[in-house]
Amino acid sequence: MFPETRLRRLRRTEGLRKMLGQPLPGPEKFIWPVFLREGKGIDEPISAMPGQSRMSAEVLLKKLEPVVASGIGGVLLFGLTSKKDADGSEAFSEKGAVQRAVPLIKKAFPQLTVFTDVCLCAYTDHGHCGPLNPAGEVDNDAALTLLQKVAVSHAAAGADCVAPSAMMDGQVLAIREALDEEGLTDTLLMSYSSKFASSMYGPFREAEQSAPGKGDRQGYQAPYNDLRQALRESELDEDEGADILMVKPALMYLDVIQQLRESTDLPVAAYNVSGEYSMLIAQADRGWGDLRAMVRENMAAMQRAGTDIFISYWASRYNELLKD
**Selected binder of Zn ion within 24, 98, 102, 121 (CB under 5 A):** 121
Q: Is 106 a catalytic residue?
A: no
Measured CA to CA, the distance from residue 175 to residue 161 in angstroms comes to: 12
Q: Which stretch binds Zn ion (CB under 5 A): 111-119, 148-156, 238-246, 256-264?
A: 111-119
Q: Which is nearer to Zn ion, 70 or 274 (CB)?
A: 274
What ranges in 109-253 are assigned the alpha helix state H?
140-157, 171-181, 202-208, 227-240
Q: Which is nearer to Zn ion, 78 or 109 (CB)?
A: 78
Q: Which is nearer to Zn ion, 168 or 266 (CB)?
A: 168
Q: Which is nearer to Zn ion, 129 or 269 (CB)?
A: 129
Using only C-alpha atoms, the chain has a radius of gyration, in whole angstroms, of 20
Measured CA to CA, the distance from residue 184 to residue 158 in angstroms comes to: 10
Q: How many residues bind Zn ion (CB under 5 A)?
A: 3
50 prior amide bond cis, ω within 30: no
Give the number of residues written for the chain.
324
Name the CA dihedral angle for 183, 185, 186, 188, rounded to a multiple of 10 degrees: 130
| 124-163: contacts with Zn ion (CB under 5 A) | 129
Where is 301: in which H helix or E strand?
A: helix 291-305
Active-site residue (options: 83, 106, 248, 323): 248
Is residue 129 a contact partner of residue 217, using CB atoms and an 8 Å limit?
yes
Give least dist CB 9 to Zn ion, A.
52
Cα distances (angstroms) measured from residue 38 to each of 60, 66, 101, 292: 12, 23, 9, 33
Give me the DSSP letters along 73-93.
Answer: -EEEEEE--S--BSS-GGGG-
Active-site residue (options: 18, 40, 195, 214): 195
Give me the DSSP letters along 90-125.
Answer: GGG-TTSHHHHHHHHHHHH-TTSEEEEEE-STTTBT
Residue 119 touching Zn ion (CB under 5 A): yes
Q: Which stretch binds Zn ion (CB under 5 A): 36-44, 123-131, 201-209, 314-322?
A: 123-131
Q: Count Cα neighbours of 28 within 13 Å in the Cβ-side half-sphere.
A: 1
Give least dist CB 165 to Zn ion, A.
5
Q: Which is nearer to Zn ion, 185 or 218 (CB)?
A: 218
Q: Is 29 a catalytic residue?
A: no
The residue type at 309: I
Q: Which is nearer to Zn ion, 112 or 129 (CB)?
A: 129
Give least dist CB 217 to Zn ion, A.
7
Q: Which stretch binds Zn ion (CB under 5 A): 96-104, 122-130, 145-153, 280-288?
A: 122-130
| 177-236: contacts with Zn ion (CB under 5 A) | none
Q: Which stretch binds Zn ion (CB under 5 A): 55-63, 115-123, 154-162, 316-324?
A: 115-123
Give least dist CB 82 to Zn ion, A.
18
Give the residue numbers annotated as catalytic, written as ranges: 195, 248
Q: Please report, as ranges, the residues that interact with Zn ion according to CB under 5 A.
A: 119, 121, 129
